Amino acid sequence: MYDEDILLRSIRGTAYLAIAPCILLSSAVWFTSDSTGIVIANLFHVYFCILLFFVFGKILSLQSNFEEQYKSQLRKMALIPILLALLGIALTLSINPAWGAGFLMIGFYSSRFIRFYCSIFKVISKPYIDLLNRISIILCICLMLIFTYWLNPYSNPLEAYI
């Protein structure tokens, strides 16, 4: 087995393990009581923002693996998750969690299309790009589930924040 295959399997396993709590928390809000669901949805927000902070650090740490021409692009790419996390936290705390989840959903989904103006994706091999796309789609679905939970008119969880 090639070293690249082992590295890809390791990164794939780590990535899926990292998003497993997001999947669990976003689905658990629909199967719990209303008061427990609010706590779980808030835990999802906290975990998702921690995950974005981790992605920020990981992108910055990748700078040593690339040539000088790509380091500035990596710095710009690293700003996206940190800004998403900080603005999502600010909207959640200042307005309500639905605004934070909605902003994270739209911002995270639109950041998937960053490769149109970054040439660094030409250097990364296709299996890694495919993994990045799969993970981002799964996380977007999780964000949609949380966003619809906050806007659910039957349980009305936003009533606790108004």
Q: Which residue has the higher pLDDT, 71 or 149?
A: 149
Q: Which residue has the higher pLDDT, 70 or 8?
A: 8
Tens of pLDDT, residues 41-51:
999 999 999 99
Task: Go through 36-55 and write b for each residue having 16 or more CB atoms within 10 A of its CB, e for each that does not.
Answer: ebbebbbebbebbbebbeeb
Tens of pLDDT, residues 129-139:
788 888 989 99
Q: Which residue has the higher pLDDT, 52 or 61?
A: 52
- What is the CA angle 89-91-97, rounded to 5? 85
User: What is residue 19's predicted lDDT score, i.e. its pLDDT?
Assistant: 92
Q: Please determine, for residue 14, whether its predicted confidence score (pLDDT) is greater than 80.
A: yes
Beta-carbon contacts of 120 under 8 Å, excluding residues fewer than 6 positions away, are 66, 70, 73, 74, 77
Q: Is 145 exposed, middle or buried (0-12, 13-18, 19+ CB in 10 A)?
A: buried
10 Å Cβ neighbour count for 108? 21
Q: Please determine, for residue 122, whether its predicted confidence score (pLDDT) is greater than 80.
A: no
